[in-house]
Each structure stands twice: as C-alpha cells, then as structure tokens.
C-alpha cells in the first residue's frame, strides 16, 4: 500500500470516524447536562428566546466600538484566516469532490489559482496569529498546549496543500498523501480541543443571547 | 476569620475550621453544583483570544495579565473539565486533568473577589459570547462553601444573616424610617397592612444617606400612590448575591418578595442599587420560576413611569449632565433609556461619557469590591478610567442611579482630590418636584 | 543474420541510411533528455554494438505489452531495432516451441553469460510455489530466477511485471508479485504502463545497448526520462484545471468544451508517464485527448484505487454507514458521559449535605 493509498483509505476513514464520534460526543455530552439556566420573568417587549439566541449569534460577529481598537488585530486577523480557511476548504474543487463523496452535496468551485492565493494569505495570517500569541503577555498567560497544537494542526494542511499543488519538496503523490494525513491529524484532534468552538460557539453565543435578551440588555 | 498570604505573597482570607483537603472538596462541591449545559457551552467554547482582557477595567488600568477575565476562572474551568465535562470520566480515569489544589484556590480568591466587579463588560467583548461575569459569580458559590472569601464580605454576610441587613438590625428599621421622616419633614409609611407598592432600601440609605429614604417617600407621596416600607422585607441589597452565599441570597430575596405578596402589593420597588436589581429582578426566578408573583422594578424605572404618566412634574434644571451607567442596572439589567428619560425631564442636556450605556466603564466597586478594602489600590486604578471620561465630557453635573456606584465614585474622588460631586437621580428628582 | 555483425552493418545491408540512423539517435536522446552530443555518441554506440541477446519471458500477462510494441506502428526504426536484437527466446513471437524453445533459452544464456538482457512482461505468481502459472512444467517464478542468474540487467515491461498489475489486484488469488520482488541481485528497470509506451521501451533498450549502462531511474526504478513528470504536469487541459473549469460527465457541455477531467476521475496528477507528450499510435492521441481521464496505469495498484471514476481527492472508502454509526455511538457516549457526570455531581453534593448535616 502506498502512502497515498493509506492516507486516502484507512487513515481518512479512521480520522473521520473519530471526528464524528468525538464531536457528537462532546456536543451531546455538553448539552444533555442539566441546563441550570436561571429562569427569569422576561422584560415586557423583550425578544423571544429564539430571536435573542439568533441575535446573539450574529451580533458577536463584530466587536462593539470600544473593543475595536484594542481587538483590531485579533478580529481582523481572525476573520482573514477563518474566511481564508472557509474559501480554501469549501471552494477548491478537489475539496468539494471530497465533501461530495462524503455527503453527496455539490457546488461550484473557484479557480485554482485564486485558491492558491487565498491559501497563501491564510497561512500568513495564521503565522501572524501565532506571533501575536507568543508576544502578548495576556495570551501567554491564558494559552494552553491545546492552543499551540490546534494552531499547528490547522497550519499543516494549509502548508502541505500549498506544497502539493506547487509540487515543492517531494513528489506530488507524497505531498498529497501528507496533505491528507495532516487533515487526518486535524480531524482527530478537532473534537478534543478548542477547534470545537466551530460548533460550540453557536450555543455559547445563543445562551448569552437568551439571558441578555430577556433582560432587554445589549448583547 | 484569618488573613493569610500564599507562598507567592498573594493575600487571602479563610473562614471556618476546615483542613486543606476539606476546604478544597467543599469548593469543588460548590463548583460542581453550578455545572450544567449553560456553563458547559460557555466553558467549552473559549478560544483563548484575549479579547476579554481588553474589556476589563482592572486589566486596562493596571496592564496586569492576571486580570484577564477568563484567567479568573482557571480553577473553576479545571474543576469543570475534571468533574462535569463530556470527557470528564476519561480525564479523571487517565488523570489528564488533575484536581484543583488548595493553593490554586487560595491564590485565586483575590482574582475571583478582589479583581472582579461582576460588571459583565467582558461578556460583551467575548467573541464566543461566553458570559464570563456569570461564570465568575458561579465560581464564588464554591469559594464561599470553602470559606475562601475576603473577610470584609464575610463580615457583611454574617451581619446580614443575623440582622436581616448588613447595615442595621431589622428591629431598628421602623425607628430609622420615622426619624428620617421627621428630620426631612416627609410623611413616611411603615409596616402598612396593605399597599400597592412595597418600597425597599439599600444599606447605605440606613446609615449615611438617609435622605434617600425621605426622597423616595417624597416622590411616592407626590405621585399620590399607596406605598409602604416594611420591617419584614426592607433590605434589597443582597450580599448573598455578591459573596457567593446562595442560601443567604435566597433568604434575602424571599423576604422582600413574600412581604410584597403578603401586603397585596402589585409592585416591588427596588432602591437605587444595582445588585439589588440583579438579584431580585433577574435571579428571583431561581426560587419563583419565570412567573414572578409581583412586578419588580428599579427606582429608576419607577421614576421614569411616574414622569411619563405625569403623576409627578419636574422643574427644569437647565444644565448639562453626564450619567454613569451602573453595570447591574444597564449592562446586565437592560435599563438604559429610563435614567436618560428622567434626566431629560429634569431639563438636563445629556453629555454622554465616551463609554456609556451598555459599554460604560464600571465604577470599579461593584460585586462587593468597594466593601473589600484589600482591593482598594486596583479600585482606585479603575476609578481613573471613569474620572478621565467625566472630565472629557465636561458636563455640569455627574449623576448615577446606584448607591454603591455613588459611594465608589465619591471615594475615588476623595482619593484623587477630584472636585466632582456624584449625585443620585432620585435625589435630583425629589429636589426638583414641581407642584 | 550473423551474430557477429554489428547493428550498423546490418542497417547498412538493409539500406537504412546513415542519416536516418543518426536521426533516430537524436530522437531517442531528445526523448530521454540526454545532454547535447549524446546523439552522436548514441549513434556511434548503436552502430558499433553487437546484436544484443535478449531473453523475453512472458508470465501472467495479456500480451497487450507485446502487441503495443510490435503492432502499434508500421515498420519504423524502433521495429528495426527489435529486428536486430537477438530475440533468443520469446513465447509469443518465436517460431520454435516446446523443448526446442526451452533449449534455445538455455543456449542463449550459456553463450551470452553476463551479457544478455532479460525482459519480462507479466506478473510472477508466487503462491503455492507458483503453480498457477507454469511454462513447460516450470513455474514462472523458478524460470525467472534461473533466467536472470547470469543476466546483465532485467527489464520489467508493463505494469504487471513492474508492479504486479492486474494479476495482483485484490484479492490477488495467485500471489502475483512484481519482478523486482523476486530479482533482488540484478539491476531491474521498470517500464510500467498498461501497456507501456513503445518509445519508452525502445529508448531504454537503445540506451542500454549503446551506452552499456542503466539510464537514470526514479525510486520505482522507472527511467526518469519517460516517467519524470506527471500526466497532469504536461496535460493540455491543465489551464482548465487551474481556472476551475471541469467536465462533470462525459457528455456534458464541459466535456464538449474539452474541460479538465479531474471530476470524472482523472488520475493524471499522480501518474508519472509520457502519454501527454509522446502520445500513442505514433503521436496521434492519448486518453485525455480522446475525452477519458487518465487511469493511472503506470502506477502501482492502479486497479485498486476505488474506481477509475472516483475523483482523486475523495476517500477510497465508502464511509456513509461508518460515519452514521460513529454519530450514533458519539451521541450514546455523550449522553452516557452526561449521565455519569450527573451522578458524579449528585454524589458530590450529597456528600456535602451529609458532612454539613454531621456538623449540625
Ligand atoms: S465582570 Fe467586569 S470586572 Fe469582572 S472580569 Fe469581567 S470585565 Fe472584569
Ligand atoms: S474573550 Fe472569550 S473566547 Fe476570548 S479569551 Fe476571553 S473568554 Fe475566551
Ligand atoms: S485532465 Fe487530468 S491530467 Fe489533465 S489537467 Fe485535468 S486532472 Fe490533470
């Protein structure tokens, strides 16, 4: 079995199974705990819980004015690599085919050259994020191993993907295999670390939305 | 009660006779009670972005990374992952997440109590929508169980338990009301069998600021409403809400609500106190569910109501004013427009502070911090943020609607020899009632 | 034809001009990207070479490789070259049969000890002593071992000989193995392809004969000159790939526009071969040009890649049921963990009530 066959076959299979199992485990485990939401008599004219939850999810997409300056880098850089990752993952045709193979869903992709550009920007943005993390005393204090591992496992697929498409460093099939293996590593770690915020942020924002919404307070 | 310091020189107080391991277990049990889906969704979502630091007045004014809001939750988070998270059984089995140590808890007493006013500004900043302020309040429940609370807060707790108020024995309440009525020449209602409005008070009003009692009475009388103060339920500031004593919080909450129900009041009016609002208006549901037996409003909302319904008329002062938004009332409480409406009715031109409304800086004294002398240095640091904004706004008057905020700001002004007077909205209204 | 004659003499006597011969040498050097001046050296080497003794063994194969080499073009210099190597043994082509044939092989081996070349097409059955494929009662694997004993080099022609090919496809009932798994002490050159490109075959033999050494090989022992780049590297549809223009089927608008065939399973990006440059049938066309994706036939295990029409970037396995199972298991574990935590929490709180009660 070649490395590529291993990557496309058993490695990907195992990684996806662990990913789905772990992610569902964590979400179900967190949300089937007793809720312990303090009930409150909502303010007259307050948003309904569903609307407040949704509002919470959306309002948090951009910082309030006082935090914009201090958080400018965090937010802008965060957006750059999140959008970058989304574009690369969801709009590169080989990736779409991968997703189609798993889910049957299909949509048009973007030109590959554009994707390479976005991937380069994404990689640069991730590096900038890491440098920021290493230089900020606050982030140094609150960062855990999870933060660095999650960073690495997000960064590697971007780099290996770029190397593979540009045939740099090794033969294409080896690079492609490494790319797929790096994604496997990402998928395996995903449910257990902070990468899960990709799913959990909805609940976290939504719950604060409900709490503040019923009070008629800002989100 | 003993004051100690950790090996690293961090001061902490302990209460009660417990061994270290008993103390730690007690804290863990207190934490564990709080863990549910809501805490889980919050504690599982943090991405360690540090945005919350940029919101906290204690971090901004000192630059001390330890004051990063999410850092204040470290032991609470750890306990969550060990005892309640979706992977907790595995973490315990493999020892991936160790038990929280007593040393950590001792060290974190300062961060959980001294360095947090429960102001909720960090909650607004967190891109993941994590309600850090609420989690810190939850963490205080465990710390209280473990007897790891600043002595000053514990002292107030004891007094409140014994007297029904941290300021004065309940037995003296009626006398204070009567004396105040006489002193200010206002008709007082005390312990009436029936009334539409039950009026409650905050501790400072029973000692240094009794004029507030008279002012409230004056407005009620002027509006021609049926109201009363009541010995069985008068203390609305809820020390249990601040220091993590959930049992006391329940007792204090029940006293005022049950009294209101007993005398057939349709409305319970809370004094100018932010935490009273947080405790009674938004947390009474812990014991009463989401249909409260009585309408609960803050003094500021009451003033807005009587102004809007023209039950009282006001003289126009015709100056400019800046308003300090009490965190529990505005940011955490949703009462943003009412104080501004009242100020406008008083003819003030409002000069907003740079950070106002939901985004206002905390006075620095909420969450029991003003009563906890250990926190004085950072409280003054935080005060400077407010001072700068008030100076920049350059209004004639500086008004707020919370007694605790007023005390904190007044202490700050004294400390920095800043010649600004901090006024309460109720007092302005009472002093400017028109015929 | 006399064995002592040189290739040059034979070509002369056949009326092949010196110019044509030099042209051929230049062509081969260009194909193999040899340095300038090699063409003359090669022409000289070839002209001076004695007829090369070749033993051609055919094992588990379909004869496609031989067909490709002998039938694909009308007489050309390559075919002449083949005429002038001394094909001392070839199942399919030789006139002799039976014992006479086996005798010829042994004679050639003895006469050209250390100088003959063994060409193999077809995979080698190894299971149960190789009894699934025998010639004259001798198992392929044994014949191979015996034949290569005094060989100069071994050339594995076609994917079956090079990598096991179709006989080795799952479940590989005959234990088919590639030549270089059996022959470990002689230089082996792989010229894979199903079938391989004739020019590659001829080029390698010409090189071997004229320079007396092996051409540069990659890690799969393929001559880099022919297997140095992927089909995708040289594919004329590549611009469509880069622009994200793909055919979604074989008869849609994209297919008619000549768009890239990635989505319909083209394996060009991971296939090293010269189809895109040399093409087939004398340079007429190659699969991608006629509208079908590359099958990856010159790569190991190309038959077992989950289907020719499965895009390269997809998982090799059908994961639907496994993932559904994982989701269900995850939900169960999550609910279980929440339940365990509830009990754990309750026990904690109860303990506390007990200890508080005890104090009172
Ligand atoms: S609630 Fe206020 S004081 Fe406490 S950590 Fe958050 S911002 Fe700081
Ligand atoms: S702002 Fe929110 S997500 Fe970011 S570090 Fe603070 S708590 Fe975590
Ligand atoms: S048709 Fe195949 S080889 Fe050609 S560009 Fe597309 S993927 Fe590459």
Confidence at residue C132, expressed as pLDDT on a 0 to 100 scale:
93
- Asked if pLDDT for residue C6 goes beyond 80, the answer is no
CATH of the domain at B207: 3.40.50.1860
Residue A33 in any domain: the answer is: no
Residue B156 lies in a domain: no
- Distance between terminal CA atoms of chain C? 118
In the predicted structure, residue C358 carries a pLDDT above the cut 60: no
Q: For the CA atoms of A51, A56, A61, A67, what is the dihedral angle to 10 degrees?
A: 140
Domain CATH code at residue B120: 1.10.1060
Neighbour subunits, B (≥3 Cβ pairs < 8 A): A, C
SS3 B201: strand
Pairwise CB contact (< 8 Å): A102 & C243: no
Helix (H) or strand (E) holding B324: strand B320-324
**Mutation pick for ligand 2 pocket among B122, B128, B132, B139 (CB with most ligand atoms within 8 Å):** B128
Q: Is residue B183 part of a domain?
A: yes
Q: How far is the first Cα of chain A from the last one, in angstroms, to the nearest whole number?
A: 54
Q: How far apart are CA C50 and CA C206, in angstroms?
A: 12
Q: What's the confidence (pLDDT) of residue C76? A: 58
Domain that residue C299 falls in: 231-359
Q: Is the per-residue pLDDT at A194 higher than 60?
A: yes
Contact predicate C120/C154, CB 8 Å: yes
Q: Is residue C18 part of a domain?
A: no
Q: In percent, how much of chain C has pLDDT > 90?
A: 42
Residue in the structure block whose two tokens are 């140095």: C228
Confidence of residue C356 (pLDDT cuts 50, 70, 90): low
Q: With bands split at pLDDT 50, 70 and 90, how would you rate the model's confidence at C1?
A: very low
* Pair A197, B45: CB distance under 8 Å: yes
Ligand minimally distant from the alpha carbon of residue A70 = 2
What does the pLDDT read at residue C91?
Answer: 67
Does residue B125 form part of some domain? Answer: yes
Q: In chain B, which residues have their Cβ closer than 8 Å to the Cβ of C345?
A: 32-33, 35, 83-84
Q: What pLDDT does C360 receive?
A: 37
Count how many residues are written for chain C.
360
Q: Which two tokens stand for residue A186?
A: 């990402």
Backbone Cα Rg of chain C:
29
The residue of chain A nearest to residue B355, with distances taken between CA atoms, is A66
Q: What is the whole-number distance in angstroms between the Cα of residue C236 and the centre of ligand 3?
A: 8
Chain-wide mean pLDDT for chain A?
A: 93
Q: Is the model more confident about B336 or about C31?
A: B336
CATH code for the domain of C137? 3.40.50.700
Q: How confident is the model at residue A122 (pLDDT cuts 50, 70, 90)?
A: very high
Write the pLDDT tens digit of every residue in C216-227.
999 899 999 999
**Distance of residue A135 Cα from the nearest chain B Cα, in angstroms:** 12
Q: Of C341, C349, C352, which is closest to B88 when you measure between CB atoms? A: C341
Pick from C316, C337, C349 the residue to mutate for testing the A interface (most A CBs within 10 Å): C316
How far is the first Cα of chain B from the last one, in angstroms, to the nearest whole number?
A: 54
The whole-angstrom distance between B15's CA and the closest CA on chain C is: 15
Partners of B54 on chain A (C-beta within 8 Å) are: 67, 70-71
Sheet holding B422-424, edge to edge: B349-350, B320-324, B397-400, B422-424
Q: Are residues B64 and B141 in the same domain?
A: yes
Evaluate whether C215 touches C32 at the Cβ level (below 8 Å): yes
The tens digit of pLDDT for each residue in C228-277 reads 999 999 999 999 998 889 999 999 999 999 999 999 999 999 999 999 99
Which residue's structure tokens are 């009670």? B33
The tens digit of pLDDT for each residue in C119-170 reads: 999 999 999 999 999 888 889 999 999 999 999 999 999 999 999 999 999 9
Q: How many residues does chain B have?
A: 435
Ligand 1: lining residues by beta carbon, under 6 Å = B 55-56, 58, 69, 72, 116-122, 132-133, 136, 362
C280 lines ligand 3 (CB under 6 A): no
Please give the pLDDT value at position C108: 84
Cβ pairs A/B, distance under 8 A: 188
Crossing angle for the helix pair B170-184 and B211-223, to the nearest 10 degrees:
70
| Contacts with C212 (C-beta within 8 Å, 6 or more apart), sequence order | C45
d(CA C278, CA C193): 13
- Domain count along chain C: 2
Query: Between chains, do A24 and C334 touch, taking CB under 8 Å as contact?
Result: yes
C160: closest CA among C187, C183, C178? C178
In a domain, A36, yes or no: no
CA-nearest of A178, A105, A93, A174 to C311 is A93
Q: Looking at residue C3, what is its pLDDT?
A: 52
Radius of gyration of chain B (CA): 22
- Selected for mutation to probe chain C from A8, A10, A91 (highest C CB count within 10 Å) is A8
Largest CA distance in chain A: 67
* Distance between Cα C297 and ligand 3 center (Å): 14
Nearest CA to ligand 1 atom 5: B69
Both structure tokens of A60: 């948090």
A62 CA → ligand 2 middle, Å? 14
Minimum-distance ligand 3 atom for the alpha carbon of C271: 3
Q: What angle do CA A211, B204, B256 make, to 5 degrees?
A: 50
pLDDT value of residue A36: 77
Q: Residue B200 and residue B284: Cα distance in Å, rounded?
A: 15
Q: Residue with the nearest Cα to atom 8 of ligand 1?
A: B56
Q: What are phi and psi of C134, to 5 degrees?
A: -130, 155
Candidates A1, A17, A95, partner chain C, best to mutate (most C CBs within 10 A): A17
The predicted pLDDT at position C344 comes to 82
d(CA A69, CA A76): 11
By residue count, chain A amounts to: 219
Q: How far is C292 from chain A (nearest CA, A)?
A: 18
In a domain, A58, yes or no: yes
* pLDDT number for residue B219: 96
Angle at C171 between CA C165 and CA C176, to 5 degrees: 45
Residue A37 lies in a domain: no
Residue A41 lies in a domain: no
Residues 296-335 of C with CB under 8 A from A: 299-301, 304-306, 310-317, 319-320, 322-323, 325-327, 329-331, 333-335
C-alpha distances in Å from residue C177, one per residue of A2, C160, C354: 15, 8, 73
Q: Do C247 and C172 belong together in one domain?
A: no
Among B33, B84, B124, B246, pick the best mutation site for testing chain A contact (most A Cβ within 10 A): B124
Phi-psi region of A167 (alpha: psi -120 to 50; beta: other; left: phi over 0): left
Say yes or no: C166 and C148 in one domain: yes
Residue B321: strand, helix, or coil: strand
The ligand with the least distance to the CA atom of B69 is 1
- 8 A C-beta contact, residue C328 and residue A19: no
Q: Is C269 in the pocket of ligand 3 (CB under 6 A)?
A: yes
Q: pLDDT per residue over A17-64, tens digit each?
A: 999 999 999 999 999 888 777 888 899 888 999 999 999 999 999 999
For residue A32, is it within any domain?
no
Residues B294 and B334 in one domain: no
> Which among A2, A16, A26 is the nearest to C300, CB-wise?
A2
Residue B420 confidence (pLDDT)? 93
Which of these three, C194, C226, C258, is where a domain ends?
A: C226
Estimate the crossing angle of helix C320-359 against helix B20-34, to 10 degrees.
130
Tokens 């009930």 appear where?
A39
C54 vs C61, residue with greater confidence: C61
At residue C74, the pLDDT reads 47
Secondary structure E strands in chain C: 53-58, 86-90, 117-121, 124-125, 134-135, 138-139, 153-157, 176-177, 188-191
Residues in chain B predicted with pLDDT less than 70, given as ranges, are 1
Chain C CB contacts of A28 below 8 Å: 330-331, 333-335, 338
Question: Least CA distance to B51: which residue of chain A?
Answer: A71
Do residues B145 and B9 share a domain? yes
In a domain? residue C294 = yes
Rounded to a whole number, what is the distance in Å from the CA of A162 to chain B's nearest CA?
Answer: 26
The residue assigned the tokens 């104080």 is B339
Within this chain, do residues C213 and C104 fall inside the same structural domain, yes or no? yes
| Judgement on whether residues C170 and C220 belong to the same structural domain of the protein | yes
Peptide bond into C195 cis (omega under 30): yes
Would you call B241 helix, strand, or coil by DSSP? helix
Ligand 1 pocket: which of B55, B60, B66, B121 to mutate (most atoms <8 Å of CB)?
Answer: B121
- Cα(C58)–Cα(A150) distance, integer angstroms: 54
Ligand 2 binding pocket mutation candidate from B39, B50, B52 (most atoms within 8 A of CB): B52
Among B264, B285, B306, where does a domain finish? B306
**Residue A218: HSE in the Cβ half-sphere, 13 Å Cα cutoff:** 21
| Facing residue for C314 by CB, picked from A17, A101, A108 | A101
Task: Note whether B87 contacts A142, CB cutoff 8 Å.
Answer: no
Q: Give the range of the structural domain holding residue A62, as residue numbers without chain letter.
A: 3-26+46-215
Short-list B44, C283, C136, CA closest to A191 = B44
Contact list in B for residue A130 (CB cut-off 8 A) is none
The β-bridge partners of C174 are none
What's the number of domains chain B is made of? 3
Percent of chain B as helix, strand, coil, to the nearest 5: 55, 10, 35
- Among C337, C348, C351, select the one facing B86 at the smallest CB separation: C337
- Is the Cβ of A24 closer than 8 Å to some Cβ of chain C? yes
Contact C341 B29 (CB under 8 A): no
Residue B155 belongs to a domain: no
What CATH number does residue A171 fall under?
1.20.950
d(CA C102, CA C58): 13
- The region, left, alpha or beta by phi > 0 then psi within -120 to 50, assigned to residue B14 is beta
- B351: domain range? 310-431
Q: Which two tokens stand for residue B387?
A: 């001072």
Question: With contact defined as beta carbons under 8 Å apart, do C150 and C113 qualify?
Answer: yes
Question: Contact B43/B85 with Cβ under 8 angstroms?
Answer: yes
- Nearest to A186, CA basis, from A78, A77, A88, A80: A88
CA distances from B404 to C97, C128, C316 (A): 111, 92, 67
Dist. CA B11 → ligand 1 center (Å):
20
Total number of domains constituting chain A: 1
Residue A75 lies in a domain: yes
CATH number at residue B376: 3.40.50
Token code pair at residue A181: 């293996």
Question: Which residues contact ligand 2 via a Cβ below 6 A?
Answer: B 46-52, 69-70, 125-126, 128, 130, 132
How many whole angstroms separate alpha carbon C150 and alpha carbon C118? 10
**B211 Cβ contact partners less than 8 Å away, ≥ 6 residues apart:** B180, B184, B427
* Torsions phi, psi for C131 (to 5 deg): -70, -5
Of B278, B306, B334, the last residue of a domain is B306
Q: What is the pTM of this model?
A: 0.87
């Amino acid at each position: 079995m070649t490395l590529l066959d291993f990557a496309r076959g058993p490695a990907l299979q195992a990684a996806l199974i662990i990913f789905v199992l772990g992610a569902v485990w964590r979400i179900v485990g967190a949300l089937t705990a007793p809720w312990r939401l303090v009930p409150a008599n909502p303010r007259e004219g307050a948003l309904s819980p569903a609307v407040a939850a949704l509002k919470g999810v959306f309002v948090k997409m951009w910082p309030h004015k006082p935090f914009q300056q201090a958080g400018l880098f965090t937010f802008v850089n965060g957006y750059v690599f999140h959008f970058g990752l989304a574009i690369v993952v969801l709009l590169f045709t080989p990736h779409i085919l991968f997703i189609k193979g798993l889910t049957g869903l299909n949509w048009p992709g973007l030109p590959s050259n554009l994707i390479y550009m976005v991937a380069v920007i994404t990689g640069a943005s991730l590096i900038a994020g890491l440098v920021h993390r290493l230089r900020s005393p606050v982030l140094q204090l609150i960062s855990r191993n999870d933060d660095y591992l999650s960073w690495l496992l997000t960064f590697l697929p971007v780099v290996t993907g770029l190397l593979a498409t540009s045939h740099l460093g090794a033969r294409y099939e080896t690079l492609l295999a490494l790319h797929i293996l790096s994604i496997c590593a990402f998928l395996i770690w995903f449910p257990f670390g902070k990468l899960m915020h990709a799913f959990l942020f909805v609940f976290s924002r939504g719950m604060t939305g409900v709490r503040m919404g019923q009070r008629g307070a800002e989100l | 009660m003993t004051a100690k310091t950790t090996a690293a020189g961090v001061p902490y107080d302990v209460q009660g006779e417990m061994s270290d391991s008993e103390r730690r277990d007690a804290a863990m049990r207190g934490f564990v009670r709080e863990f549910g889906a809501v805490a889980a969704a919050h504690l599982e979502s943090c991405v360690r972005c540090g945005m919350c630091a940029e919101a906290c007045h204690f971090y901004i004014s000192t630059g001390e990374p330890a004051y990063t809001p999410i850092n204040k939750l470290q032991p609470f988070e750890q306990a969550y992952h060990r005892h309640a998270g979706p992977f907790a059984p595995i973490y315990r089995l493999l020892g991936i997440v160790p038990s929280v140590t007593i040393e950590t808890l001792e060290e974190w007493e300062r961060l959980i109590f001294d360095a947090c006013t429960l102001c909720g500004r960090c909650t607004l900043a967190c891109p993941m929508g994590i309600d850090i302020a609420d989690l810190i309040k939850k963490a205080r429940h465990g710390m209280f169980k473990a007897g790891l609370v600043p002595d000053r807060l514990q002292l107030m707790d004891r007094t409140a338990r014994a007297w029904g108020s941290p300021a004065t024995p309940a037995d003296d309440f009626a006398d204070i009301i009567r004396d105040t009525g006489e002193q200010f020449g206002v008709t007082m209602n005390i312990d009436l069998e029936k009334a539409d409005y039950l009026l409650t008070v905050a501790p400072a009003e029973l000692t240094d600021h009794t004029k507030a009692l008279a002012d409230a009475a004056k407005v009620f009388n002027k509006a021609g409403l049926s109201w009363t103060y009541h010995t069985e339920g008068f203390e609305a500031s809820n020390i249990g809400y601040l220091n993590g004593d959930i049992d006391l919080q329940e007792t204090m909450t029940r006293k005022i609500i049950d009294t209101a129900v007993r005398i057939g009041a349709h409305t319970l009016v809370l004094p100018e106190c932010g935490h009273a609002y947080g405790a009674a208006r938004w947390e009474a549901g812990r014991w009463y569910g989401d249909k409260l037996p009585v309408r609960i409003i803050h003094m500021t909302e009451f003033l807005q109501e009587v102004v809007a319904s023209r039950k009282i008329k006001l003289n126009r002062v015709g100056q400019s004013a800046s308003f300090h938004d009490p965190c529990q009332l505005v940011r955490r409480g949703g009462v943003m427009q009412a104080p501004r409406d009242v100020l406008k009715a008083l003819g003030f031109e409002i000069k907003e502070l740079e950070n106002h409304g939901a985004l206002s800086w905390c006075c620095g004294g909420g969450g029991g911090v003003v009563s906890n002398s250990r926190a004085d240095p950072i409280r003054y640091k935080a005060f400077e943020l407010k001072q700068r904004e008030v100076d920049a706004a350059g209004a004639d008057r500086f008004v707020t609607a919370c007694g605790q905020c007023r005390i904190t700001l007044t202490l700050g002004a004294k400390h920095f020899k800043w010649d600004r007077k901090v006024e309460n909205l109720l007092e302005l209204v009472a002093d400017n009632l028109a015929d | 034809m006399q064995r002592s004659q040189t290739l040059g003499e034979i070509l002369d006597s056949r009326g092949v001009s010196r110019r044509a011969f030099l042209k051929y040498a230049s062509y081969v050097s260009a194909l193999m990207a040899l340095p300038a001046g090699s063409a003359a050296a090669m022409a000289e080497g070839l002209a001076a070479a004695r007829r090369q003794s070749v033993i051609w063994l055919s094992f588990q194969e379909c004869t496609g490789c031989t067909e490709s080499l002998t039938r694909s073009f009308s007489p050309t210099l390559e075919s002449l070259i083949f005429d002038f190597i001394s094909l001392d043994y070839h199942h399919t082509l030789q006139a002799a049969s039976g014992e006479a044939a086996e005798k010829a092989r042994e004679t050639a081996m003895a006469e050209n000890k250390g100088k003959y070349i063994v060409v193999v097409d077809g995979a080698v059955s190894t299971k149960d002593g190789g009894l699934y494929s025998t010639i004259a009662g001798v198992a392929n694997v044994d014949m191979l071992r015996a034949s290569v004993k005094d060989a100069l080099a071994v050339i594995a022609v076609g994917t079956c000989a090079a990598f096991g090919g179709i006989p080795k496809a799952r479940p590989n009932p005959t234990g088919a193995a590639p030549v270089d798994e059996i022959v470990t002490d002689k230089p082996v050159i792989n010229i894979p392809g199903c079938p391989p490109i004739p020019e590659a075959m001829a080029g390698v033999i010409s090189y071997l004969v004229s320079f007396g050494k092996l051409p540069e090989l990659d890690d799969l022992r393929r001559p880099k000159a022919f297997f140095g780049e992927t089909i995708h590297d040289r594919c004329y549809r590549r611009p469509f790939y880069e622009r994200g223009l793909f055919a979604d089927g074989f008869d849609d608008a994209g297919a008619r526009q000549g768009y890239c065939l990635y989505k319909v399973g083209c394996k060009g990006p991971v296939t090293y071969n010269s189809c895109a440059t040399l093409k087939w049938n004398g340079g007429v066309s190659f699969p991608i040009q006629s509208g079908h994706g590359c099958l990856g036939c010159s790569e190991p295990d190309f038959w077992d890649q989950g289907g020719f029409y499965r895009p390269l970037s997809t998982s090799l396995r059908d994961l639907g049921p496994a993932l559904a199972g994982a989701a269900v298991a995850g939900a169960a574990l999550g609910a279980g963990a929440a339940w365990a935590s509830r009990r754990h929490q309750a026990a904690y709180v109860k303990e506390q009530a007990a200890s508080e009660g005890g104090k009172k």
